[in-house]
Every structure is written in C-alpha cells, then in structure tokens.
Structure 1
Amino acid sequence: MGDPRKLRKKWEGPGHPWDKTRLENELRLLGKFGLRNKKELWIAQTMARKIRHRARELLALPEDVRKKEEENLLKRLYSQGIVQSNAVLDDLLSINAEHILNRRLQTIVYQKGLAKTIYQARQMIVHGHIGINGRRVTSPGYLVKRSEEDLIDIISSSPFKRELEASQ
C-alpha cells in the first residue's frame, strides 16, 4: 500500500510552460469548467494522454491478442461516461481533457441545473450540499460514472433542498 505521505503525482505539467496558444487554451478551459487552478486541468490532460497512449499500444498488438483488451478498455471508458456505447478504438485517439472535465461532479451539477453557475456548483459541493445516492460528496473533481449520473441531487438536510421544496 505504501506510505500515505509519499503519493505519486497524478499529473504532468506542460513541456513548454510559456507557449501562448497553450496558455490561452488553458485559461479558456479554466473559466469554462470553473477549475480552481491549472493543476486540476493538468490532471485531466494526463488522464486523457494515458488513454490515448493505451489505445496506441493496443493498435500495435496482433488482432487476436488485441480484441479482448480493447473490449475491456472500451467497456470501462463507457461506464465512466468518457465514450459512447458504439465507440471503437480509433475514437480513443481523439480523447482530450474536455472529455474528462465533462465527467467531473462540478460540471454535471451545473449541467443538471442544481446550481446557477459553475462556480456555485463548486461551492455547493465543497460545502457538502450535493450527494450521490444520498451519500455526501465534497470533491468537485470526483469523476461521475454513467450509472451515478441520475443519482446526483441536493442532500436532504441542505437548506438548498428546503428552498427548492418551498418554491414548488
């Protein structure tokens, strides 16, 4: 299991830190998804890079070996909500950070209309007003699985829930 104080980094920073187009793109994504800092974006970029890398590895394997592993990878990514059900291995090569960021709890709370802005969605999650299947989740970066998407709601003890019920 290892020492909890010596965790591995989950992200890799950019190779060229002062590239103007990359900086502009990062700033646009930070605002669109309401991220706290660029580290959250770099985590998503690293996850997408690893998926693309795994897809390239599978494409290099012989057909008989590749089939089962390809099916497992596609099934896992479908359950995470990153790809559609009819996706093929070539579709994985076009995955980018936005696909990962769309699966964050913060983004889904905003898209479901539980919060008025993406920043309010983050605050509601961090303050413990949002839960999945009645279980409180306080991490805005939690990657929501496809099966959990419909179970996201405001916690019953939250004042937001009482306001919502009073307005109806």
Structure 2
Amino acid sequence: MGIVRKPRKKYSGPSHPWEGERIEEERILTKEYGLKNKKEIWKLTSKLSAIKKQAKRLVADTSDQGVKEQELLIKRLISLGILTEGASLDDILEISVKQLLARRLQSMILTQGIARTSKQARQMIAHGHITVNANKTNIPSYLVKTSDDLAYAPSSPFTDNEHPELVIVKKEDLKKVDVVELPLKEKPKETPTKTEAPKEVAEVKEEIKEVTE
C-alpha cells in the first residue's frame, strides 16, 4: 500500500469573488466553450500563470540549462498549437486563456466538425465515443496536440453518417417540392329560386292548372 496523501489543489480561485467585470468575462467564456463550471477556467488560468512565471524566470537565465529549458518550453507550446515556429519567450507572455480553451478536446471536437455543439461534444467525450490517437479519452479538458488524431471510437454508433444526431438539414439543401395544381371541382348547381325558375317549369304549372279546372 502506498503513502496516502491529501490531493493537492490544482488551481487558485480569484482573489476577490465579487468583481463584476471578471464575472461577466467568465460567464461569456463558460457559454462560448460549453464549460461545466468556472473552475475549468480557473484551472487553465493557473496553468497559464505557471507557464508565464517560468518564461519570466528563463528570460534572465543564460546558463546552458536555462537555454535548454527555454527550448523545451517553446517546443511544448508549439506542439499544442498555441505558438508558431520561431516564437520566443516574449510571445509566451502574450498567450491568453482563450488560446488554451480553444485547444481543449471539447473545443477541438467542435472545431473539426465531429460534434454539432459544445454540449454534444462534451457528452460524446464523457460517454467514450471519442478517441485520441486510437485511444478512448473521456477528459474534455485534455489539451490536444497538433499531432493528435481525433476520431470516433470504432464501437461508437456515431460512425454511421446517417446517425440522427449528426444529420443536419440545412434550408439551402432542401429541395423545393413541385406544387401540382389540381383541377378545381365543379361547384354543385344551385337550386333556382322562384324568380330564376326556367320557363319550362312555369309552362308545366300552367298546363296542370288548366287540367284541374
């Protein structure tokens, strides 16, 4: 049996809980990226803060070990698709939380068109319908690398392109139905009124009257 340790907190919340501007920004991000709660934002904020702190430390470190750490840090961020080739430590300080949110597995599933909505993307991941490099992954917050291959699990029903949850009927794709004009039914002849009674009827009535007299 290993040593039982208290799990370490992986994030630090906001120093002031009632900042209106920050609360509004978090609300927008939560809705835009389909996050479960604001803790997911705080976790990435803490991760980004640690990355920037490391970059600031390495700026002043000119030793061989410091240069090596710089290269590894930049290479790691390039592999995540956050930085581009030729980036420097100064570029790391410009990274925003939105860039990290966009690399989450949940966001990438939506970006690549594997899911229709952020909510559906999260459900697919949680229920084991998504694979990363042919391995099932049920962690929506997993940061996707540029070399990662995302796909449906072979056993997932979503491999069927005709699955109801994947079929989207667009208005422009709908074919207009040809309207066939049916012939109008003839209106029933109206019963003639007394004034409109034909002459033949009037003549018959006169003959009957003469006979009876």
Partner of 1:68: 68
Max radius of gyration: which structure? 2
Distance in 2 separating the partners of 1:161 and 1:46? 37
Counterpart secondary structure, 1:153: strand
Counterpart secondary structure, 1:37: coil
Partner of 1:108: 108
- Would the aligned equivalents of 1:30 and 1:36 in 2 still touch at CA under 8 Å? yes
Matches within 5 A, 1:77-156: 77-148=77-148, 151-156=149-154
CA shift, 1:89, in A, is 0.7
CA shift, 1:165, in A, is 8.3
Indicate the structure whose relative CO is greater, using CA pairs within 8 Å and at least 6 residues apart: 1
Partner of 2:158: 160
- Would the aligned equivalents of 2:130 and 2:151 in 1 still touch at CA under 8 Å? yes
Letter of the structure 1 residue corresponding to residue 26 of structure 2: E
CA shift, 1:6, in A, is 1.8
Partner of 2:196: none
| Structure with the largest fraction of helix | 1
Taking only aligned residues, the RMSD between alpha carbons, in angstroms, comes to: 2.0
Q: 1:62 to 1:135 in 2, by over 3 A?
A: closer
- Would the aligned equivalents of 1:125 and 1:139 in 2 still touch at CA under 8 Å? yes
CA shift, 1:82, in A, is 2.3
- Would the aligned equivalents of 1:10 and 1:43 in 2 still touch at CA under 8 Å? yes
Q: 1:88 to 1:128 in 2, by over 3 A?
A: same
The runs of 5 or more residues in structure 1 that have no matched partner are: none
Letter of the structure 1 residue corresponding to residue 109 of structure 2: V
State the TM-score, normalized to the length of structure 1.
0.89
Q: After superposition, what is the alpha-carbon deviation per residue over 1:130-161, rounded to whole angstroms, capped at 9, x for unaligned? A: 1112211111111112211xx10111211111
Letter of the structure 1 residue corresponding to residue 116 of structure 2: K
Partner of 2:53: 53
CA shift, 1:2, in A, is 4.9
Partner of 2:181: none
Distance in 1 separating the partners of 2:160 and 2:133? 18
Counterpart secondary structure, 2:54: helix
State the TM-score, normalized to the length of structure 2.
0.71
After TM superposition, what 4+ stretches of structure 1 lie above 6 angstroms from structure 2? none
Count residues with an aligned counterpart: 164
